[in-house]
Structure 1
């Protein structure tokens, strides 16, 4: 490793390590891109791919993102954009959870879907996409549903859980699990021109409050559908919240919801005082 570090330092220009130099290190020392990026950041060297981060994210913070593990539950409309942006900003480990394959109706909005990926598992497409855009990021694919029964295994080690689900019951289970497991949760939902985002820390009840009047069904998305732009907007806000949690900076959307109306171009903030959480029981 010492020779690799020396090579990286000698290859650095203006404090930056080019992608070409990283690739040479991979080939010369038999390392993975993940290992090369770790060596660079740990030795105060900024990979050049992150140079536009530097005015807002220090090298210490970039290393913190690289050492972070984020679980993305749902890899469709919201989740695909979330995974794309987490990988591009440099979050080092992403857990992608989704049981589904791509179908033709996904093509209008899901960034991981293409005609070539129809019939392919969404989590496999996530692995391939991240390997293409940032090979230093590790993706763990889990082709399964999230529920209370398997949450401990799926979200083990996660520092943040990003909700990209399209099912209210599963969202409520995720909120319940995150409270018990002590994992911050970033919640996002979309439908037509509309969407909302909220952040729930362990012990909070924002998500339960948002859906306190829910009776049955998957949600408004089923009636309104989804265009290409709504998931991109909401997912970007979710990624911003996740990064703030990981870096411990900024003010979170805690105990409040940001409601977005892209048709009228209006954004509203709605407060949610804490209420006693509803206990969910897993059927035997």
Structure 2
């Protein structure tokens, strides 16, 4: 009896899918010398769903889960938006995550940043995000790069990346990210927050409709006046993750050539057509 046979022997029917314990799968794979990701991919390819993903099947299906496990996403900025985006992408099962942020946690981050705790003040945001992603999902390969995203670091960061998620708070860095993704044909999910307001959009290769929103001399936006309460980054990060997962799996439609504008003060969601 093979290692896989010992796992599927106790498979459980859950609707149209056959579910196996991801913990039992991991134990058997380790004895066989396989990585958790290799085991989960093999499992899905042979018609069985690891238990940790069973609640995603009705939406993403086994084919979508396979695409996620075989994908790589870069999360640029690991603060209020990026910390939660990374958490959600790890739970979704994106196989490789690259976290980029040159900053460390400080006291002002505690009100809204998922990864910020009193014990982690002074610690690297990017490395903390990577460590948490692998704690959440042992099949995920994650690395944290404590550096600024710029034209010098972009090549190493974006190599082999299928998708980038913009979680930046600097217009200068955001302009560089847009340009570097465009030159490499990498799809980009962009999000921004300020007080009660937020926005989310998707930039596909060859699309420049969002570029005009990055114009201006100031490096920051109105968030310097409004600040950011805890709920706005959580909402926008979730919307960014949804766009990322749809792009990677091919499920649903995305906000290409559009901007979803959110005003939580008046509970208004407006989809703006940019072209």
| Structure-2-length-normalised TM-score | 0.93
Match of 1:282 in 2: none
Matched, 1:8 2:7: yes
Query: CA separation in 2, counterparts of 1:3 and 1:152?
Result: 42
Q: Is the 8 A contact 2:4 2:28 kept in 1?
A: no
Match of 2:269 in 1: 267
Match of 2:221 in 1: 219
Gaps of 5+ in 2: none
Matched, 1:183 2:159: no
Runs of 4+ in 1 over 6 A off after TM superposition: none
Query: CA separation in 2, counterparts of 1:264 and 1:144?
Result: 38
Query: CA separation in 2, counterparts of 1:47 and 1:226?
Result: 38
- Bigger mean CA offset, 27-36 vs 90-99: 27-36
Q: 167, 171, 186: which is aligned to 2:170? A: 167
Gaps of 5+ in 1: 274-284
**Residues 1-284 of structure 1: pairs in structure 2 closer than 5 A:** 3-14=2-13, 15-212=18-215, 214-273=216-275
SS in 1 for 2:98: strand
Q: What whole-Å deviation, never above 9, does each CA across 1:114-148 have from its counterpart, x for those lacking one? A: 11211111122112212222111111211111112
The CA deviation at 1:38 is 2.4
The CA deviation at 1:266 is 0.4
Query: CA separation in 2, counterparts of 1:36 and 1:249?
Result: 24
SS in 1 for 2:252: coil
Q: Is the 8 A contact 1:198 1:206 kept in 2?
A: no
Query: CA separation in 2, counterparts of 1:229 and 1:218?
Result: 20
Query: CA separation in 2, counterparts of 1:12 and 1:143?
Result: 42
Query: CA separation in 1, counterparts of 2:185 and 2:26?
Result: 38
SS in 2 for 1:58: helix
The CA deviation at 1:189 is 0.2
- Bigger mean CA offset, 88-97 vs 20-29: 20-29
Equivalent pairs counted in the alignment come to: 271
**Alignment RMSD (CA, Å):** 1.6
